[in-house]
Amino acid sequence: MLIAQITDLHLGFDPDNLDEFNRQRFDSALRVLTGLRPRPDLLLVTGDIADDGNDAQSYLRYREGIAQLPFPVFSAMGNHDERETFLAAFPDHPHAGDGFIQYAIEDYDLRILVLDTLQIGRHGGAYCETRAAWLEARLDEDPERPTLIALHHPPFDTGIPWLTEDPEAGWAVRLRNAIGPRTNIVGLIGGHVHRAITTTWAGKPLTVCPSTAPQVALDLMPIDPEQPDERPMIIADHPYYALHWWNGRNLVSHIDTAEDHEVLARYTPALQPLVRLVTDEQKRG
């Protein structure tokens, strides 16, 4: 099973420009994903779809962008999103019915639980008792089935001082307690940080996908909110996407840029001995 992921589209950052920079980057990622072989089974979009969640046009642009994709698309809410505006554009999108856009994707070899970590007016994550109870109930329904959890906000300290979470914040502890010691959770995937990050959280692998919009500069130095110091904060790296391959045993995550890569070698007769060597070794074990 192959799961594609993009995140942090921030459509509508330039609201009066239908051909805005972020839309071009979003479209570039979709072109790459559509041309992949093997083709992804589905696409997860893990939040910050809109730059301003109250701007209905941003969600209409998103709907237009994904309309002709050859695989289903599932969305999560980020801190820039707004639930009611999103559901107005996608009235049939799954949600929990309790005011939160949480749901289970059941139709594949790997079960996927999409969480809602949005709290309106807050930049960081949130996870209330209602949402945690929903998650525990879903996990209790099928405690043996391999399950992936998708969310927007990674609940750990990223090391980037201005874009991080307190792992002991109430919402992160509540989420960690809801997951508990369950052994069927194969991993978590998120966004929000606009950088590629891997870690272990609650004993589970957690992968953060970079953004299709511009990326956050890697800077682990402390930051003083009272003293701007001219450090780089946002950089114009290429749009990114992730591919998460479930092989029936492990979740294997790959991250790449949506650009034309310079090819240095192709599979020609010159490389055939290497390919034969490797495949023969695999057969012998």
Residue 197's pLDDT is 98
* CATH value at residue 109: 3.60.21.10
Average pLDDT over residues 169-193: 96
Residue 21's pLDDT is 96
Average pLDDT over residues 75-97: 97
The count of other CB atoms within 10 Å of the CB of residue 275 is: 10
- pLDDT tens figures, 134-162: 999 999 999 999 999 999 999 999 999 99
SS3 at position 46 = strand
CA angle, 165 then 171 then 175, to 5°: 105
Contact call for residues 101 and 86 (beta carbons, < 8 A): yes
Type of residue at 6:
I
Residue 192's pLDDT is 98
Residue 16's pLDDT is 87
User: Is a pLDDT exceeding 90 seen at residue 86?
Assistant: yes
CA 98 to chain centre: 23
Contact call for residues 197 and 205 (beta carbons, < 8 A): no
Number of domains in the chain: 1
The residue range of the domain holding 152 is 2-284
The count of other CB atoms within 10 Å of the CB of residue 95 is: 18
